[in-house]
Amino acid sequence: MKKIIVFAFAALMVLFSSNAQSQTDKSKKKNKGKQEKMSNTDSLSYALGISIGNNLKQAGVKELNTAKLAEAMQIALSGGEASMDENQCNAIIQQELSKFAEAKAGEAQKEGLAFLEKNKSNAGVQVTESGLQYKHVLEGSGAQPSATDEVTVHYEGRLIDGTIFDSSIKRGEPATFGLNQVIPGWTEGLQLMKEGGKITLYIPQNLAYGAQDMGTIPAYSTLIFEVELLKVNKGE
């Protein structure tokens, strides 16, 4: 339902932008490097456009017939007779979104596998039986955690394209959690460390979030984490 609503908003975005596109292009040329002054309505329209565009991109939508979209929206707004009822529209949207999602998932898995295949031959990289890849950056000398222990760490996580999606380092505050409360790649990888150590984890999608889309982490993403193990609190 959420994605169906997003598509409806996308139609509104097209109507706003289609009517004002030529004027907007001229304005950008005249005011290059300056922030454009907009009315409240225009500001809302622009903000919705950016937000909706990002959502459509995340959903895997790369191309739309904007003319057809605008035509259908005009019919709906004017109360005209549509060639499809609401159930038919929803069915088509769900069907096409599924296709986009499958294509995007397949691409993410393919890219992840290619990355891991190349990465495993890099100096210092080791591979476990599960497929987890890791590289010790600094060997620790303190306690070594088990799967039931709580750990305090500094970390930074990124996608294979270099996009950082989370960083305790940037927040300036380490994180504390149980190793049985995190993704499998973390549970396994941190047990390879000792206090004071630093490690790079290359986590296959099946040891990360798999088919779940976690906001800035697309489904089926291979993840890279830089982790420093600060402290181990032994569980019972």
Q: H-type helices in the chain, by residue range?
A: 2-30, 40-58, 66-78, 86-119, 168-171, 184-190
Q: Is 166 a known active-site residue?
A: yes
Distance CA 201, CA 1 (A): 36
Judge contact between 217 and 209, C-beta under 8 A: yes
76 or 147: which leads in pLDDT: 147
Q: Is 155 a known active-site residue?
A: yes
The catalytic residue among 9, 100, 183, 213 is 183
Q: What pLDDT sits at residue 235?
A: 65
* Cα distance between the two ends of the chain: 45
Classify residue 88 by burial, with Cβ atoms within 10 Å: 0-12, 13-18, 19+. Answer: exposed
The catalytic residue among 16, 134, 209, 220 is 209
Task: Give residue for tokens 């890099």.
Answer: 122
Determine the CATH number of domain 123-233.
3.10.50.40
40 or 59: which leads in pLDDT: 40
Predicted confidence band of residue 221 (pLDDT cuts 50, 70, 90): very high
The catalytic residue among 9, 93, 100, 166 is 166
Judge contact between 120 and 133, C-beta under 8 A: yes
Q: Is 225 a known active-site residue?
A: yes
Write down the pTM of the prediction: 0.65
For the chain, domain boundaries = 2-83, 123-233
Q: Is 209 a known active-site residue?
A: yes
Q: Is 183 a known active-site residue?
A: yes
The catalytic residue among 155, 199, 220, 224 is 155
Q: What pLDDT sits at residue 236?
A: 60
